[in-house]
Chain A
Amino acid sequence: MNAPERIASLAARAFPRALARYSPYLLIGEPVVDPEGETFARIDLASRTIRLGARPITEASLEDALEALIAHEIGHHVAFPGSPVEHARLLLLERTFLPRLPRSLTGPFYDLLVDERLGQGLPSIEDDLCRVLVARGARAPDDVLFTFQRAVLEELWQRREGELLGKNAAAFERAFPDHRLDAKLVAQNLFAFAPDVTLQFLYFASIAWRYAMASPAQSHAGEGDCAEGEPSAEDLAAALVPKKGEKAAIERAIREGFFPKDLVEKLADQSLERRAGAMPGDGAGKTELLTAAMAAHYRREAEKYLFRPPPARVFADALVPTTHLEWEPGDPVADIDWVATLLRRGETLGVAMPLLRERIADEEGQSTPSFLGRTEIYLDVSGSMPDPKRALNAMTLAAQILATGTIRAGGAARALVYSVGHEKAWSFCRSERVLSKFLMRYIGGGTQFPFDVLAASVDEARDEQPIRVIITDSDFDANYDAHRQNASIFAHAAERSPALVLLLHAPNREKARRYEQAGARVVAVRALGDFPRVAAELAFSLFDPGPSAGAHDGNPSPTNPSG
């Protein structure tokens, strides 16, 4: 039996024991043995896969410590950090106020919390955990932060001083004479702040960040940590706005004097701008991630305005049985076709994997409403508004809500962002994600509405004119007056469109009246913060088909928008 096979066999016996330290009902697969893996053990938080490095385990003679290795990785999945979103929260928090660290504090922090919990379990695996730590330390002698982490565990478990530091002990003592005091403070105070993980992290950071500064830079994010997996844009978007508990932890950390004054000022500022600026990554990669994350954040914000219980719809009775599908948890149990399930799959497999019989209405066209609404959005991204990738731009959010509202109602949308020039995503699109990402674009110059594009759009659309919405401020008045033909282009568009709507910030009454006289609808937005709410109301009024949706020919008949 070669090393990977031997490790796999031992891991198969150790895994249930490691799992039992948490819960036998945890949904996590058995560890995968990686013959070429460079680390003892790692877990991918997104896929929940534990990988064991056969070669390093064999070289360090840790075959009999597999339960400790696996239990430690499971701990990262269960609680610390538990999910990529929670990891993203601490990562963003760290980057908002601490100097740029060569090594993130999150990995060692999670390790401490996991090991502290495992150290209390029975039968004790403390000795095995210590062996793993010593072996890891031997492979990373320059990792100052990891050395400090081991010193903390020496104090926590009251091991002989230097037992876990190994050969590094004397050199570390010379380089950091106060490390023993710091380790005692962390060991004796960190766990008293449980279960407030944010507060625990802030306390740990207040002492350990100096050791992180002295650590070598990571060649890639997460190097040296056993919980791997970069937060995705969606994870970062979910972590952008601090929760109430996080804010309370930050206030307590400031009140109890965890940090010096210069860091406190930065810590206290957890605005969207600061947290967006704290996104991980460098260069083009960071820009791409920032755009995607902010787009996801805007979609989440748009959700808040768009959610509404759907109106009751009347469908024809679905009586005609059609095809069989796999029944999944969440589907109605009454839809299971037990006869077909038992005939095709038998008693044993059938109860585990039942079949569902799909049914449709007898008369076509009455089971689902059809809707072919289309929206064309013109969004002002001139310098009067902030870059939506750096801060919340109310007009961008309004555009996101309109686009999402259209798509959710079964329609399609296209968008154009303009300042002195313009950029457009001009194919009608049903993807919220694609449009959302496009609407994050920012030009930031003067304001010049593209009347030529508007004219071309009206000509191109012919009999399938979309609803057109222009989101802008009073700079539009100057654009309208710039050339004589602009007024006629505007009036022609208003005449041809099912609705031409101006969402206008603080409009001049006389100017607004002339737009209305030209056939457009002007929705006055008094404060910038009202844009999202107004856009949501507009989206509902334009695209919410209501209970009689099935009776229409598919084109929406817009009602008067509120404003």
Chain B
Amino acid sequence: MSFLKNWTAKAPAAPSAQDAHLLPESVPLDLAPILAALGQVLAELEPAALDVDVARAKLADLCRDLAIEPADPLELDPMATGLDRGGIERVALLVLVLERRAIPEPTLKRLFENRARTAAREGLFEVARSSGLVTLDLLRGSPLRREELARRLVLGLGASVAGESLAEARAALERLDYGRLMAEAERARRAAGKG
């Protein structure tokens, strides 16, 4: 342990007021490798071992590997607040998918550089929070659920799906939205019960 101040260490940067803005169509992502990585991770992971702190640490490692300043852990804390067990599992799952380099490194760097906080919030934590019905079991059993999660990840990171316009990608996600489907089914069931 050094008692001397490390003059070479950079002082922590002050939190940026606003992350860099990215045009989604400028970052087209191929779904196939993301789906393949998702399948592999689902087959290998141990749900009980998934942990939000480990996920944040892995995310930070990923950023350092890309020579990017990771998001401040204090800024990530509020994002993880209120996540239930399912949400934690989905966050950890998505981080593992990124760790597998399902997205090529140059593209990943574009997505995270100067916007690591936004990418983490909207690409990981919000995706995990908004897909509450999509459990790990459902993901394992349904290719459609995996595609839904993959599309959410892509759009949440601020990218677009290769070969589709942004509107088409959003329409495809809406078609796959499991929560929306379940809500429609419940409405239909209630209407049938009343009719």
Q: Which residues of A contact B (CB under 8 A)?
A: 120, 156, 158, 178, 181, 184-185, 187-189, 191-194
CB distance from B5 to the nearest CB of A (A): 58
CB distance from A354 to the nearest CB of B (A): 47
Say yes or no: is B188 at the interface (Cβ < 8 Å to chain A): yes
User: Once the chains bind, are B142 and A191 in contact (CB under 8 Å)?
Assistant: yes
Contacts of A185 on B, CB cut-off 8 Å?
181, 185
6 A-B pairs with C-beta separation under 8 A:
A158-B147, A178-B188, A181-B184, A185-B181, A188-B144, A192-B142
- CA separation between A192 and B163, bound complex, in Å? 28
Chain A minimum-CB-distance residue to B184: A181
Consensus secondary structure, chain A interface: helix
CB distance from B154 to the nearest CB of A (A): 15
Total contacts A-B at CB 8 Å: 30
Q: Which of B145, B172, B184 contacts A158 (CB 8 A)?
A: B172
Say yes or no: is B76 at the interface (Cβ < 8 Å to chain A): no
CB distance from A194 to the nearest CB of B (A): 7
- CA separation between A185 and B147, bound complex, in Å? 16
Nearest first, the 8 A-B pairs at minimum CB distance are A192-B141, A192-B142, A188-B144, A184-B181, A181-B184, A178-B188, A185-B185, A181-B188
Contacts of B22 on A, CB cut-off 8 Å?
none
Contacts of A120 on B, CB cut-off 8 Å?
143
CB distance from B135 to the nearest CB of A (A): 10
Contacts of B185 on A, CB cut-off 8 Å?
181, 185
- CA separation between A185 and B185, bound complex, in Å? 8
Map CB proximity to A onto B157-179 as digits: 1 under 8 Å, 0 otherwise: 00000000000000010011010
User: Once the chains bind, are A156 and B144 in contact (CB under 8 Å)?
Assistant: yes
User: Once the chains bind, are A192 and B138 in contact (CB under 8 Å)?
Assistant: yes
User: Once the chains bind, are A188 and B181 in contact (CB under 8 Å)?
Assistant: yes
Residue picked from A120, A156, A158, A188, most chain B C-beta under 10 Å: A188
Chain A minimum-CB-distance residue to B145: A188
CB distance from B32 to the nearest CB of A (A): 12
Map CB proximity to A onto B139-156 as digits: 1 under 8 Å, 0 otherwise: 001111101000000000
User: Once the chains bind, are B145 and A191 in contact (CB under 8 Å)?
Assistant: no
Contacts of B175 on A, CB cut-off 8 Å?
158
* Contacts A120-B143, A158-B147 known; 20 new A-B pairs at CB < 8 A: A156-B144, A158-B144, A158-B172, A158-B176, A181-B181, A181-B184, A181-B185, A181-B188, A184-B181, A185-B181, A185-B185, A187-B144, A188-B142, A188-B144, A188-B145, A188-B181, A191-B142, A191-B143, A192-B142, A193-B141
User: Which residues from 119 to 144 on chain B have a C-beta closer than 8 Å to any C-beta of chain A?
Assistant: 138, 141-144
Contacts of B142 on A, CB cut-off 8 Å?
188-189, 191-192
- CA separation between A178 and B189, bound complex, in Å? 11
- CA separation between A156 and B176, bound complex, in Å? 10
Contacts of A192 on B, CB cut-off 8 Å?
138, 141-142
CB distance from A462 to the nearest CB of B (A): 73
A191-B141 contact, Cβ under 8 Å, with A158-B172, A181-B188: yes
User: Once the chains bind, are A194 and B144 in contact (CB under 8 Å)?
Assistant: no
Chain A minimum-CB-distance residue to B147: A158
CB distance from A214 to the nearest CB of B (A): 16
Contacts of B138 on A, CB cut-off 8 Å?
192
- CA separation between A400 and B181, bound complex, in Å? 55
Contacts of A191 on B, CB cut-off 8 Å?
141-143
Contacts of A181 on B, CB cut-off 8 Å?
181, 184-185, 188
- CA separation between A363 and B181, bound complex, in Å? 81
- CA separation between A185 and B186, bound complex, in Å? 11
- CA separation between A158 and B178, bound complex, in Å? 14
Contacts of A189 on B, CB cut-off 8 Å?
142
- CA separation between A192 and B178, bound complex, in Å? 13
CB distance from A203 to the nearest CB of B (A): 13
- CA separation between A184 and B172, bound complex, in Å? 13
Chain B minimum-CB-distance residue to A177: B188
- CA separation between A244 and B61, bound complex, in Å? 50
Chain A minimum-CB-distance residue to B144: A188
User: Which residues from 14 to 41 on chain B have a C-beta closer than 8 Å to any C-beta of chain A?
Assistant: none
